[in-house]
Amino acid sequence: MAVNLSFNQNLLPVAGIRLATLNAGIRYKGRDDLLVIELAEGSSCAAVFTRNAFCAAPVTVSRSHLASANPRYLLVNAGNANAGTGEPGLAAAKACCVALAEAGRCEPEQILPFSTGVIGQQLPVEKVVAALPNALANLKEDNWLAAAKAIMTTDTIGKAMSKQITVGGQQVTITGIAKGAGMIHPNMATMLSYIATDAQVDPNLLQSILNEVVEETFNCITIDGDTSTNDSLVLAATGQSGAVIDASNCADFQQAVQEVCMYLAQAIVRDGEGATKFISIIVEGAKDRAEARVIGNTVALSPLVKTAMFASDPNWGRILAAVGRSQIDQLDVNAVTLWLGDTLLIEKGQPVSSYREELGQVEMKRDEINVRIQMGRGSASATTWTCDFSYDYVKINAEYRS
Amino acid sequence: MAVNLSFNQNLLPVAGIRLATLNAGIRYKGRDDLLVIELAEGSSCAAVFTRNAFCAAPVTVSRSHLASANPRYLLVNAGNANAGTGEPGLAAAKACCVALAEAGRCEPEQILPFSTGVIGQQLPVEKVVAALPNALANLKEDNWLAAAKAIMTTDTIGKAMSKQITVGGQQVTITGIAKGAGMIHPNMATMLSYIATDAQVDPNLLQSILNEVVEETFNCITIDGDTSTNDSLVLAATGQSGAVIDASNCADFQQAVQEVCMYLAQAIVRDGEGATKFISIIVEGAKDRAEARVIGNTVALSPLVKTAMFASDPNWGRILAAVGRSQIDQLDVNAVTLWLGDTLLIEKGQPVSSYREELGQVEMKRDEINVRIQMGRGSASATTWTCDFSYDYVKINAEYRS
């Protein structure tokens, strides 16, 4: 059960974007597992990909295609990651692009392929190719909901959001979907996300906006520290609303994109494998943001902290121990102050006499928990979002392929 | 159930070392929870401690005492870590030293205190102090077995080993005990270990031997990446065998100490919380040893790798993904070769055509699994020992304080 997350059904179409989903029989029965997103001619595209050196074949192909042409189609399959598949996997990803380019009358370089699912199995190219004509015949502007469902793997719930703003008197729509529940860690995660807007944005500006937004959103979540081979996030701008975004007026637009990304990134944590709690690790008073992030990540990834959260056990010693092993230069434990929710536990390294176990218990029993750590060595801060570590995390990942 | 580990009952006394255990009622009922180790006058002592900045009060006190005097007594309690206890915790550790020094007729600085157990609760000093006279009255040379049991917390089995070598015609005995099952990670772990020998070794040489040995043994194990607040390892040399170890003849001695430490370190992994498998991550062909260690640790700590191990699932993609996210400069995935046991899976980045899932399954079903990763970028190697991640890990850590 995802933590305080429902499937957002109010998705707005984005002019210039059409989507189709269907069951290509790649792995799943009785649900769609293939998604085609068509971008209108003249759309801009920005993307970020996994930094994992073992990136999947589709990531390699998408990176290369994006660098050489304007994308017209995004081709996404769930159930098979096409990762760890060597040269045959690369050939498979390219073959899918060639087939879709032929059917869609564009160049193969204008196709960006994406895959998510089991690693190390060859992609059944023939099944993907066979499904393409049917997909192209069924492209629709209002298919975002189906798209959010078609890309799910261990997700228990679809993740999607729309937002509208007005730019220069013109209405701009932003709609995004995402999938991901495990192998989630900054830079990035076993996640795919597709976001589109009908604003017109120069590709360089679009990429720079995306980079800044990702740093504040998708790169601040972690479920298990395992970055994936397939993470990809695409932001497309069709320009069909007539609204033009440039350096002079991009602040509101960037803010809106960030809201969509924040919702989607936190949705991934709320639906984290086995999650029963949504946890914010707020690190303040660090020397710089990088330091705050390292501390936040160390606490967020500690199996001992995460199992204590699962048990609603205010075992704050585990939080301090995780802070203490963050690789922070000359950490002065007598400057560290710690809160669970609004309850002060440790003040400048010393246990607070007013603290009683019952107070911590109240905070830990919530399904949304704030851990606030004031380091007392600077003014930088960062928040990391994570979830707890439950029996179900082990179960889901032990049985994933069975 | 610990993986292929039984409680080694053949422990040899070490001349000059006497031990006493008893139930001081600190936390546990029906078992001993206090250990006093007496070192004969003139013994040398070397030690390594946790590098966690939030180190426990006894670690602070032991470090300081060891720097200023020759230890006569080690005082160990289980059930309460005396960590995160601030100034009162420091005062408690010192009060225990004062009481034992008085009863044992030495200086307080000659006492090294150690604690292991729950973090964040004040140590019941009065219970420790009340037990000391009885402890001193019951010191015995052949109490090593009882000592190994008295320091256990979530351990399911005592960990101990003796070894004898001959130096210059004289027999030298080395006996060691250790505890630890969770919060285990290099530098170091929620572990305590006490090793003694009747050889005579200069304290500086003893410390240098210990440092080198720890680097190859205790610093190569990881269970959950959580380094502890309390880790301490003491190596004492009483000199009572008459054998003198110096720089010219220390190789055999160091090798013997290393065998004892290796046994104890691996015993901790075999008894890792919830462990069902003992896993060796062997990284070869790295640029340097540090790089090999980083890769080995990343794989060993991956929750996805560890849950796959628990499930006996040859999901090797997770191993590659973990290698790929190791922070290694310019990792060339097309140089990486991977074996599970003797089964070759990936050769220079490409899946091997001879590999079939059944072969991987055979390897993964073993209770001792070797993962061998040849990086193809140098000649350095390192092995990391770890265990799998099971339902019981979550259970043990969720219920630890209940």
Confidence (pLDDT) at A65 = 97
User: Do the chains contact at B395 and A391, CB–CB below 8 Å?
Assistant: yes
- Within an 8 Å CB–CB cutoff, is residue A154 touching chain B? no
Give domain status of residue A2, yes or no.
no
Tokens of A184: 């989630």
Which range marks the domain in which residue A288 is found?
278-398
A275 has a chain B CB within 8 A of its CB: no
| C-alpha–C-alpha distance, residues A119 and B321, integer Å | 9
- Domain membership of residue B175 (yes or no) is yes
pLDDT of residue B224: 60
B265 in the same domain as B282: no
Does residue B313 sit in the same domain as residue B247?
no
Establish if B3 belongs to a structural domain: no
CATH number, residue B314: 3.10.20.340
Strand pairing partners for B343? B340
pLDDT at A46: 94
Could you tell me if B168 and B230 lie in one domain?
Answer: yes
Q: How far is B249 from chain A (nearest CA, A)?
A: 37
Q: Look at residue A336 and tell me whether its pLDDT is greater than 60.
A: yes
What's the token pair of residue B222? 């990881």
Angle between helices A250-270 and A203-216 (to 10 degrees): 40
Partners of B80 on chain A (C-beta within 8 Å) are none
- Distance from B219 to chain A by nearest Cα, in Å? 14
In a domain, B113, yes or no: yes
Bigger pLDDT: A165 vs B397: A165
pLDDT per position as a tens digit, B329-345: 888 989 999 999 999 99
Decide which of A238, A254, A270 is a domain's last residue.
A270
Whether B116 shows a pLDDT value over 60: the answer reads yes
Residues A157 and A302 in one domain: no
| pLDDT at residue B318 greater than cutoff 60 | yes
Residue among B12, B10, B9 at smallest CA distance from B198: B12
- The count of structural domains within chain A is 2
pLDDT at B253 over 90: yes
Nearest residue in A to B310, CA atom: A398
For residue B54, give both structure tokens: 């939030």
> Would you state the pLDDT for residue B188?
36
The predicted-structure confidence for A24-56, as pLDDT tens digits, reads as follows 999 888 999 999 999 999 999 999 888 888 889
CA distance A383 to A283: 6
Predicted local confidence at residue A128, as pLDDT: 97
Q: Is B242 strand, coil or helix?
A: coil
Average pLDDT, chain A: 90
Nearest to A176 by CA among A106, A246, A254, A236: A236
Residue that terminates a domain, selected from A246, A270, A294: A270
Tokens of A114: 């994406």
Domain co-membership, A253 together with A337: no
pLDDT the model gives residue A28: 87
The residues near B79 (Cβ < 8 Å, ≥ 6 apart) are B26, B27, B28, B33, B116, B117, B118, B153
What is the pLDDT at residue A103? 96
Q: Is the pLDDT of residue A270 over 60?
A: yes
In the prediction, which pLDDT does A225 show?
Answer: 61
Last residue of a domain, one of B270, B297, B329: B270
User: For B140, phi and psi rounded to 5 degrees?
Assistant: -140, 150
Indicate if the pLDDT at residue A188 is higher than 90.
no
Q: Is A190 a catalytic residue?
A: yes
Q: What is the pLDDT at residue A4?
A: 85
With CA atoms as reference, the chain B residue closest to A298 would be B226
- Judge whether B11 lies within some domain: no
Query: Is B172 found in the same domain as B78?
Result: yes
| CA–CA distance, A318 with A76 (Å, rounded to integer) | 41
A148-175 mean pLDDT: 92
Is residue A75 situated within a structural domain? yes
Distance CA A253, CA B307 (A): 42
Q: Where do runs of H (alpha helix) occur along A2-44?
A: none
Cβ of B393 within 8 Å of Cβ of A307? The answer is yes
- Same-domain check for residues B181 and B314: no
For chains A and B, CB pairs below 8 A equal: 191
Considering the domain architecture, whether residues A257 and A292 belong to the same structural domain is answered as: no
Looking at the structure, tell me whether residues A261 and A293 fall in a common domain. Answer: no
Question: Would A314 be classed as within a structural domain?
Answer: yes
Asked if the Cβ–Cβ distance from A119 to B321 is below 8 Å, we say yes
Based on the fold, state whether residues A284 and A263 are members of the same structural domain.
no
How confident is the model at residue A317, as a pLDDT? 86
Domain of B118, CATH number, reads 3.60.70.12
pLDDT tens for A189-228 read 468 889 999 999 999 999 999 999 998 888 888 766 666 6
Predicted TM-score of the model (pTM)? 0.82
Rounded to whole angstroms, the Cα distance separating B115 from B85 reads 12
Taking the Cβ of residue B308 and every Cβ of chain A, the question of whether any pair is shorter than 8 Å is answered with yes
Spatial strand order of the sheet with B337-340 comes to: B350-351, B343-347, B337-340, B368-374, B278-286, B380-387
Mean pLDDT value across residues A105-109: 97
* pLDDT value at A262 more than 60: yes
Task: Tell whether A81 is within 8 A of chain B (Cβ).
Answer: yes
Q: Is B130 helix (H, G, I), strand (E, B) or coil?
A: helix
Residue B366, token pair as written in the block: 């073993």
Summarised one tens digit per residue, pLDDT across range A271-280 is 888 889 999 9
pLDDT confidence band for B401 (50 / 70 / 90): low
Are A332 and A187 within one domain?
Answer: no
Q: State the pLDDT at residue B154.
A: 81
Contact status of A138 with chain B (Cβ, < 8 Å)? no
Which strand (E) or helix (H) includes residue B166?
A: strand B159-167
Residue A10 lies in a domain: no
Whether residue B48 sits in one domain with residue B166: yes
Rounded average pLDDT over A133-143: 97
Does residue B55 have a pLDDT over 50? yes
Question: Is it the case that residue B386 has pLDDT exceeding 60?
Answer: yes
